[in-house]
Amino acid sequence: MGLTSSHWGVYEFVVKNGRLSELNPFSQDPDPSPIGPSIIDLLEDRTRITKPAVRESWLTGGPGTATHKRGSERFITLSWDEAEKLVADELKRVIKTKGNQAIYAGSYGWASAGRFHHAQSQVHRFLNSIGGYTSSKNTYSYAAAEVIIPHVLGGNLMELLTLQTSWQSVCENTELMVAFGGLPAFNSQISNGGTGAHIQRLGVIEAASAGTKFINLSPRRSDVKSDIDEAWYTLRPNTDVAVMLAMAYQLLTEDLHDDYFLNKYTEGFEKFQAYLLGRKDGVPKTPAWAADISGMVEEDIIALTREMAKKRTMLTVSWSLTRQQHGEQPFWAVTALAAMLGQMGKPGGGVAYGYTITNYLGNNVFKMPYAPLPQGKNLVTDFIPVARVSDMLLNPGQKFDYDGREYTYPDIDMIYWAGGNPFHHHQDLGRLRKAWEKPSTVVVNEWCWNALARHADIILPCTTTLERQDIGMTPRDPFVISMDKAIEPVGEAKNDYDIFAGIARRMNTEDSFTEGRSAEDWQKWIWEQSCKRAAKLNVQMPDYESFREAGFYKSPDLKEDRIFLSDFFKDPDKNPLKTPSGKIEIFSKTIDSFNYNDCPGHPTWMEPDEWLGAEEKAYPLHLISNQPKTKLHSQMDNGTLSSSIKIKGHQPLEMNPDDAKSRGITQGDIVRVFNGRGSCLCGVNITADVMPGVVIISTGSWYDPAEPNDPKSMCKHGNPNVLSPDIGTSKLGQGPAAHSCLTEIEIYDGPVQDITAFNPPEIIEKK
C-alpha cells in the first residue's frame, strides 16, 4: 500500500508479489478519474523499454548515418556503461565542433507528475551544467494567448489562470455563463503537476443547480450535457471572433455597453469602436455579418447579447480557440467584449480563460510558494517558439518573427528529448519526419516504445513514477503527495536523474549536476526550501519526516473568494495592470507598432486559410482534434481504458449523421481521412452532437505509418496530426494551429490494416 500521484489523479496502490495489482481512488477525491488503473498492465508490457539501445546504422556508421531510417530501423542493445559513454562522447563532439546551441532540448511535453523526477527539469538542469542548449518558449496548449495576453492584461498567462474567479463565486453570483468552446468536462480529469481532488464537473453541477444558465457556443456539444442542461449553439470552427465582434457591435449600437468601465479601466476603445462600426474597412461587424461567417443565426446572436448585458455574465473561452490560425484573436476579442459588459472584477462576472479545461481553474487554492528543482543557467540564448520545431530543423539560419522581434533559427546537430512526445504533439507529422532527419543524433529518455522512442538513435530506458519515490507538489493543487515507490524498476530502467548523473560522470561534470545529492537528498532539500518559503507567508508546513509519514499534506484554505481582477477593479490607480497604460489594452500601441499583417493593433477578424466558409475549399470537412477523454495525450494509449473505445483497433472519429449519410458511411465503418498533407484510418461514431461539416478525431493514438520508410505514409491507427497544418498562429505568437484543418473522408476499402504501433521495434541483444 502507498500513494502515487499523476496529472490525472492521486491513487492508493496495492502491490502483490512485487507487482502492482490495484490503483484505487484517493480518499480525498470526490470525483476520481478512471484513467489511472490503465498503468497496471503496461508496466511490464511488451512496449516497455528495458535496456539502453542504439539504432543499428548509427552504431555501425556513426552520427548522421542513414537518418532517413529513423523510425523504421532495428535497435541493438547496450550496457548502461556503453550507452552513457556513447552519449557523453557525442555531446562532447557536438559541443566542440558545433557549439552548445547545436543541441536542441526544448523537450516539450507533459512527462509525469512528481516535482523532482520531472523529466524536463532534469534534462534542462543537466544540459545547463554542460553549457546549455537551444530551448523553446511557450506551450502547445495556448501559445498564442501566452504571447497576446501580457500585451492586453499584463503579467503572465499561467499566473493569471491561477487567479481566475472561483467556482464558489460562480455558484453564488453568475446568472449566465457563455462558454466559447463549451465545457469539456473530460478535460478536467487533468491538471499539470497532480490532481488531488477533482472539482470541475461538480462545480458545473453545483452552479447549474444554484441557477447559473450555461450556454455552449461550439461545433460540438459539451461533455457536461449528461450532468446539466446546457443550451447549445453551433458555429463554424475558427469563427468565434466574428461572433464576439458582432456581440460587441450590438452592445455598442444598442447602447448596452458600460462607458464608465471602458473609460476608467481600458485603453484604446475608440479605435476598436471605429473598426466595429466599419469606419476603417467599410464593413460594420453586425450580427448579420457574423451570421454569414459563423453559420449562427443572426437573431440568436442578438438575443444572447441582450441577455448577457442584462445578467451577471461570465464569458469563458476554451484553450482550443488559441490552437488555430490567428489564435491570438479569440482571447483578445473576448477580453474586449467582457470589458464592454463592464463586469470584470465583479463577483461571478467578467472573463475566464477556461473552466473545466483542467482541474485547477477556479479552484480557489492558497498559492503556496513551493521550491522548484533549480535549473542552473542556460548560457545559450537561441530559442524557438515551441511549435516551430520543424521550421527550425529544416531552415537553419533563416529569420523568423516572434512577438515584435526578429530571430534566427540555429543549426541543430543533436536533439535530446526527455518527457514529451513530438510524434504526438506536433502538426504535419510527415513534415516533422523529414525535419527529424536533419540532426546527426537524437537521444531520447523514454519508458515505452512509442513513435518518439522509435525515432531515436540512442534510447535510454527510464522508470515510471511507480518505480521511484517523489513528491507530488504544485501550487495549483491543495494536496501535496508523498509518492511512494511501488515496485522495483522494470528491466534495466533508471530514473532520469540517475541517467543524467551517469552521463555527467563520464563528462567529469557530475558534481555540478548532482551537487553531491542523491534523489532522496534533493527531495528533502525541495521540501525544506518550501517550508522556509511558506514560513515567510506565515504558513507552517510539517517537517519532512512527518510529511512522509502522513502520506499527504493539504495547504491552507483560502479565506476569501477569488475574483479575477478584483484589486484592479477596486482601485486601478493603486493596482494598475502591468500593461504600458496600466489598463486593459483593447488597442495596443505596442502590437500595432509591430506592423504584422496577421495581428493588427486591436481584436480583428481575419479569414483563416482553411475553414468552412472559404470560397474555395480543397476539402469539405473541418477537422477538430481535441483532447482524448480516456487518457492524457499519447500516454497509456495501449492501456485498457483507451483501448476500450477504439473501433477495430482504430481511433474513433465523430461525424454528423448528414455527413455520414451523404458519403454512404454507417456506424463503425473504417474510413480514410485525408487531405494534401496526409491520411489516416479511423472508425466512425455517428453522432448529432457534432455539427454538420465538422469531424472530430481526438489526439493520442500512437502514430503508426503503413509504410514506415515513407514520411507521407498513411497512419493506420488514426493520429490526426498527419493531417493538421504546421503553421504559426501569427507572427506575434507563432503558436501551433492544429485546429485550422480541412479534410475529406471516404469509406476505406483497402486491405485490413493491423495496428502495429504497439509492437516494439526489432531489437538485437548484443552479446
Ligand X SMILES: Nc1nc2c(c(=O)[nH]1)N[C@H]1C(S)=C(S)[C@@H](COP(=O)(O)OP(=O)(O)OC[C@H]3O[C@@H](n4cnc5c(=O)[nH]c(N)nc54)[C@H](O)[C@@H]3O)O[C@H]1N2
Contacting positions for Mo ion (CB under 5 A): 141
Question: With CB cut-offs between 5 and 8 Å by kind, which of Mo ion, ligand X, none does residue 632 bind?
Answer: ligand X
DSSP letters spanning 521-560: HHHHHHHHHHHHHHHHTT--PPPHHHHHHHSEEEPPBPSS
Contacts of 255 (CB under 8 A, 6+ apart): none
Site for ligand X in 486-515 (CB under 6 A): 496
Tell me, residue by residue from 211 to 250, as one string, x for binding to ligand X by CB under 6 A and - for no binding. ------xxxx--------------x-xx-x----------
CB-based contact 717:701 (threshold 8 Å): yes
At closest approach, how far in Å is the CB of 143 from Mo ion?
A: 10
Residue among 531 and 695 whose Cβ is closer to ligand X: 695
Of the candidate spans 251-259, 315-323, 679-687, 704-712, the one that interacts with ligand X by CB under 6 A turns out to be 315-323
Question: With CB cut-offs between 5 and 8 Å by kind, which of ligand X, Mo ion, none does residue 391 bind?
Answer: none
Regarding 112 and contact with ligand X (CB under 6 A), the answer is yes
Residue among 438 and 455 whose Cβ is closer to ligand X: 455
Of the candidate spans 156-164, 184-192, 377-385, 430-438, the one that interacts with ligand X by CB under 6 A turns out to be 184-192
Positive/negative CA dihedral, 562, 568, 574, 577? positive
Owner of C-alpha cell 478536467? 188
Site for ligand X in 693-712 (CB under 6 A): 699
The b-or-e profile of 593-629 (16+ CB within 10 A means b, else e) is ebebebbbbbbbbeebebbbbeeeeebebbbbbbbbb
Count residues near ligand X (CB under 6 A): 62
CB-based contact 603:273 (threshold 8 Å): no
At closest approach, how far in Å is the CB of 755 from ligand X?
A: 17
* Residue 110 among the catalytic residues: yes
Cα 612-702-106 angle, rounded to 5 deg: 85
Which residue among 20, 632, 727, 742 contacts ligand X (CB under 6 A)? 632
At closest approach, how far in Å is the CB of 604 from ligand X?
A: 16
At closest approach, how far in Å is the CB of 702 from ligand X?
A: 9
How far apart CA 627 and CA 282 sit, in angstroms, is 39
Read off φ and ψ for residue 453, nearest 5 degrees: -60, -40
Site for ligand X in 90-109 (CB under 6 A): 109
Residue among 445 and 566 whose Cβ is closer to ligand X: 445
How far apart CA 459 and CA 148 sit, in angstroms, is 38
At closest approach, how far in Å is the CB of 575 from ligand X?
A: 29
Which residue among 348, 419, 600, 678 contacts ligand X (CB under 6 A)? 419
Site for ligand X in 425-444 (CB under 6 A): 425
How far apart CA 627 and CA 189 sit, in angstroms, is 11
C-alpha cell at 727: 503553421
Regarding 320 and contact with ligand X (CB under 6 A), the answer is yes
Regarding 670 and contact with ligand X (CB under 6 A), the answer is no
Can you say how many angstroms the Cα of residue 475 is from the centroid of all Cα atoms in its chain? 18
At closest approach, how far in Å is the CB of 323 from Mo ion?
A: 9
DSSP letters spanning 449-499: --HHHHT-SEEEEB--GGGS-EEE--TTSSEEEEEPP-SPPSTT-B-HHHH
Which residue among 84, 446, 477, 726 contacts ligand X (CB under 6 A)? 446
One-letter identity of residue 371: A
Of the candidate spans 147-155, 307-315, 318-326, 505-513, the one that interacts with ligand X by CB under 6 A turns out to be 318-326
How far apart CA 384 and CA 479 sit, in angstroms, is 34
Could you give the maximum distance between any two Cα atoms of the chain, in Å?
81
Per DSSP, helices labelled H in 210-286 are 240-253, 259-265, 269-276
* 21, burial (CB in 10 Å: exposed 0-12, middle 13-18, buried 19+): exposed
Length of the chain: 767
At closest approach, how far in Å is the CB of 324 from ligand X?
A: 6
Side-chain half-sphere CA neighbours of 110 within 13 A: 19
Regarding 418 and contact with ligand X (CB under 6 A), the answer is yes
Cα torsion 548, 123, 701, 49 to 10°: value is -80
CB-based contact 220:622 (threshold 8 Å): no
C-alpha cell at 544: 519532512
Residue among 146 and 258 whose Cβ is closer to Mo ion: 146
Catalytic, out of 58, 104, 108, 142: 108
Regarding 423 and contact with ligand X (CB under 6 A), the answer is no
Residue among 335 and 450 whose Cβ is closer to ligand X: 450
At closest approach, how far in Å is the CB of 98 from Mo ion?
A: 32
Residue among 141 and 188 whose Cβ is closer to Mo ion: 141
Which residue among 134, 329, 441, 625 contacts ligand X (CB under 6 A)? 625
Residue among 127 and 534 whose Cβ is closer to ligand X: 127
Regarding 180 and contact with ligand X (CB under 6 A), the answer is yes
At closest approach, how far in Å is the CB of 226 from ligand X?
A: 15
Contacts of 119 (CB under 8 A, 6+ apart): 107, 111, 112, 418, 419, 420, 445, 462, 496
At closest approach, how far in Å is the CB of 316 from ligand X?
A: 10
Regarding 111 and contact with ligand X (CB under 6 A), the answer is yes
How many other C-beta atoms are found inside a 10 Å radius of the C-beta of residue 396?
14
Tell me, residue by residue from 350 to 369, as one string, x for binding to ligand X by CB under 6 A and - for no binding. -------xx-----------
Which residue among 119, 204, 612, 665 contacts ligand X (CB under 6 A)? 119
* Parallel, antiparallel or unpaired: strands 670-674 and 679-686: antiparallel
Owner of C-alpha cell 469602436? 273
Regarding 385 and contact with ligand X (CB under 6 A), the answer is no
* Parallel, antiparallel or unpaired: strands 103-104 and 414-418: parallel
Regarding 451 and contact with ligand X (CB under 6 A), the answer is no
Residue among 269 and 319 whose Cβ is closer to ligand X: 319
Regarding 624 and contact with ligand X (CB under 6 A), the answer is yes
Question: With CB cut-offs between 5 and 8 Å by kind, which of ligand X, Mo ion, none does residue 182 bind?
Answer: ligand X
How far apart CA 450 and CA 757 sit, in angstroms, is 7
* Parallel, antiparallel or unpaired: strands 621-624 and 652-655: unpaired
| Shortest-Cβ-distance residue relative to Mo ion | 141
Regarding 601 and contact with ligand X (CB under 6 A), the answer is no
**What is the H or E stretch that residue 624 is in?**
strand 621-624
At closest approach, how far in Å is the CB of 259 from ligand X?
A: 29
At closest approach, how far in Å is the CB of 308 from ligand X?
A: 16
Which residue among 91, 448, 490, 715 contacts ligand X (CB under 6 A)? 448
Catalytic, out of 8, 11, 58, 110: 110
C-alpha cell at 192: 499539470
CB-based contact 385:137 (threshold 8 Å): yes
Question: With CB cut-offs between 5 and 8 Å by kind, which of Mo ion, ligand X, none does residue 186 bind?
Answer: ligand X
Q: Could you list the residues that contact ligand X (CB under 6 A)?
A: 109-112, 117, 119, 140-141, 180-182, 184, 186-187, 189-190, 217-220, 235, 237-238, 240, 318-321, 323-324, 357-358, 418-421, 424-425, 445-448, 450, 452, 462, 496, 624-629, 632-635, 699, 720-721, 724, 738-739
Catalytic residues: 108, 110
